[in-house]
Amino acid sequence: MPDSREQLDIESQMVLYIAGELTNGAKAAFEKRLASDPKLADDLAKLREAQVFCADTMRSGDEQMRLPVSEGVAVRRVGRAMAQWQVDRARNVTVAAKTRRIPVWAYPAAAAAVLIIGFLIWSSRQPIALPPAGEELAAAVSRPSVDDQNDGQEALADWIDNSFGNTQEAANTESALSDPGPLPGSDDASIFPMPEETIQ
């Protein structure tokens, strides 16, 4: 299995080369490339100068200001913090993987729902055909016979005659009630005053 450091970009390989952390094969390949590429050699020299400058600056800062704790305590605290960070990261990855998982029963339920919906759509688009024995019945129901039509017309005529007669009788009764005529023994004068009389 190839080392993952071999797939790093050139800047990362330069940092690892300066720190002495490249494997023998990767180190030999990098030195070979370094000998053939003068720009890469110049970049490596600049990176070494920057690293020396940073180390000297940090050393002079440490000499001017005393550390709040000893070096061993600081190393242990940083080591514990890094170990805790790795544990937290692994735990978060595990929780995210568990929450993203789809339950096993969801797959057959989704398949059944798709089948049911597909069947309903398919059945709603199918034409409805009457059976052969029912076609004669449907034709008979849709086309009434001549005798049935005559009976219906006679029933409608009777109903209109009866209604008209009842309406005529009701109109005669209303007119009789609204105008009772003069009372016996009176001189054609109504007992109810006319509207002109009530105004005067």
Q: pLDDT value at position 111?
A: 92
Own/partner long-range contacts of 153-157 (Cβ < 8 Å, ≥24 apart):
none
Cα–Cα distance, 92 to 22 (Å, whole number): 31
Residue with tokens 């690293």: 51
Cα–Cα distance, 14 to 19 (Å, whole number): 9
Q: Which amino acid is at 30?
A: F
Q: pLDDT value at position 112?
A: 93
| CA atoms lying within 13 Å on the CB side of residue 192 | 7
What pTM was computed for the model?
Answer: 0.33
Domain ranges (residues) in the chain = 1-66, 68-104
86-130 per-position pLDDT tens digit: 888 888 776 655 666 677 888 899 999 999 999 899 888 888 765
**How many CB atoms sit inside 10 A of residue 27's CB?**
16
**How many CB atoms sit inside 10 A of residue 106's CB?**
9
Cα–Cα distance, 70 to 82 (Å, whole number): 19
35-93 per-position pLDDT tens digit: 998 999 999 999 999 999 998 998 888 778 777 778 888 889 999 999 999 888 888 77
Task: Compute the 3-state secondary structure of the chain and give helix, strand, coil in percent, each to the nearest 5.
Answer: 75, 0, 25
Q: Could you tell me the two tokens for 157?
A: 């005529």
| pLDDT above 70 (res 146) | no
Q: How confident is the model at residue 5 (pLDDT cuts 50, 70, 90)?
A: very low
16-32 per-position pLDDT tens digit: 888 888 888 888 888 89
